[in-house]
Structure 1
Amino acid sequence: MVARSEESRQAILRSTLKLLGVGARGGTTIQKLSIEAIAKHAGVSKSTIYRWWDNKAAVVIDAFVTAYLSHTPVRDDVPFEEALREHVAAVVHQYAGLDGKLVAQLIAEAQYDPATLEEFHNRFWLGRRSAVEALIQRGVEEGVVRSDIDPSMLANLAYSPIYLRLLLQQGPLDDTFAAELVELALHGIGVRAAALQKSAR
């Protein structure tokens, strides 16, 4: 019975992504997606869906997170800087595709639907930011990040430009952007010591 329940749950998550066009094209939008459509595609009843999720937003976010997290890991088996570069590059790469369109729709929905905003915060955003904050704290412990830096502020600095480009489409989400973003987050906007020394000669 437990195995069958988990099978149904996974079918619901897969159906949600397929209906939204993740991994393909021609899907519907979150706004137009319905619990009825998900249930029909997954071969389950609506009551089965509501057994695990309170609303459509929760289903969509769980489906997205299940697929997204495996592609954007925050590694703990490599040095801080390498882990940060890999994570930011992975996030930028994912958001350049259909995952980005899905997140943009979720954020748009959240602007007028408090339930969607709460689900997005609790099921996705807070966990991602906490993972990056923990990574930054590791950078402090490794001696490569200033100890007076607020990890939450640096996490916001790393993520915010990605969401700005995603939502306003002002520039590409590519490897160059990812590398420049990490460089800015790590070294700030001050003139580097080497450049100062060169100009003093």
Structure 2
Amino acid sequence: MTRVNPRSVRAHNDVLAATMALLDEGGLPAATVDAISARSGVSKATIYKHWPNRTAVAAEAFGLRMADAIPLPDTGNARDDLAEQVRRVSAFYAGHSGRVFAQLLAATVADPEAAPYFREFFLDGRRQAIGVLWDRALARAEVRSSVSVETAIDLLFGPLIFRLLSGHAPLTAAEADALSAAALTGLLPNT
């Protein structure tokens, strides 16, 4: 059995709390290792002992905070559950947290050391949560079993990320409803 040093756990938690506060205040640009160290009281050497860089720290802090930020609906049917979740995610992306998400996503694209932290602490948890909705829908035979949950997630939520990053269209409830309706109904007329 591996013993966990309470000081190490406390330092880890202090770094994550300081990083989240900095992300809240100024986004990823504010979360430098110097600022994280000053805010947390944890040395830069200790920070680098646990994370390869500031983007990795920020990705973990953001992911842990956001794990419960978008609760799953349970309306009793797949169409309403999925449409409501698209609305909730769209609202999340439209706010300050969405800007931080976009900054982290952009930073991790060019940072192979930080990308696994972003996937593990943010994306994996969000995708697993949507998997719960999809499994409910499959159990009620409300969605096609031939469509994988990964495909469904990309179709429903990918457009929101594209809009967030490109800014070509708004992230509003009406737009979220239009996107989910098109994804859930399909683009081609019934023939």
Please give the TM-score of this superposition, normalised by the length of structure 1. Answer: 0.79
Write the distance in 1 (CA, Å) between the matches of 2:154 and 2:5. Answer: 40
Considering only aligned residues, what root-mean-square deviation do their CA atoms show, in Å?
2.7
Q: Which residue of 1 aligns with 2:86?
A: 88
How many equivalent residue pairs?
A: 188
User: Which residue of 12, 16, 29 corresponds with 2:15?
Assistant: 12
How far off is 1:4 after superposition?
6.2
* 3-state SS of paired residue (2:68): helix
Alignment of 1:11-160 (within 5 A): 11-20=14-23, 22=24, 24=25, 27=26, 29-30=28-29, 33-50=31-48, 52-75=50-73, 78-160=76-158
| Paired residues of 2:56 and 2:115 also in contact (CA < 8 A) | no
Structure 1 residues 175 and 161: alpha-carbon distance in aligned structure 2, compared to 1, 3 A threshold: same
- Over residues 41-76 of structure 1, what are the superposed CA-to-partner deviations in whole Å (9 max), with x where a residue is unaligned? 112223443454343222101211122222212356
Return 5+ residue gaps in structure 1 as ranges: 197-201
Specify the code of the residue in structure 2 equivalent to 1:60. A
| Paired residues of 1:106 and 1:116 also in contact (CA < 8 A) | no
* 3-state SS of paired residue (1:115): coil
Q: Which has the higher contact order (CA 8 A, sep 6+)?
A: 2
| Paired residues of 1:104 and 1:166 also in contact (CA < 8 A) | yes
Write the distance in 1 (CA, Å) between the matches of 2:27 and 2:119. Answer: 23
Write the distance in 2 (CA, Å) between the matches of 1:76 and 1:96. Answer: 23
Specify the code of the residue in structure 2 equivalent to 1:55. N
Structure 1 residues 89 and 10: alpha-carbon distance in aligned structure 2, compared to 1, 3 A threshold: farther
* 3-state SS of paired residue (1:186): helix
Structure 1 residues 160 and 134: alpha-carbon distance in aligned structure 2, compared to 1, 3 A threshold: same
Structure 1 residues 78 and 43: alpha-carbon distance in aligned structure 2, compared to 1, 3 A threshold: farther
Write the distance in 2 (CA, Å) between the matches of 1:77 and 1:65. Answer: 26
How far off is 1:175 after superposition?
0.8
Q: Which residue of 1 aligns with 2:173?
A: 175
**Aligned-pair identity (%):** 32
| Paired residues of 1:61 and 1:123 also in contact (CA < 8 A) | yes
Write the distance in 2 (CA, Å) between the matches of 1:93 and 1:153. Answer: 22
| Paired residues of 2:27 and 2:103 also in contact (CA < 8 A) | no
Please give the TM-score of this superposition, normalised by the length of structure 2. Answer: 0.82
Q: Which residue of 2 aligns with 1:199?
A: none
* 3-state SS of paired residue (2:143): coil
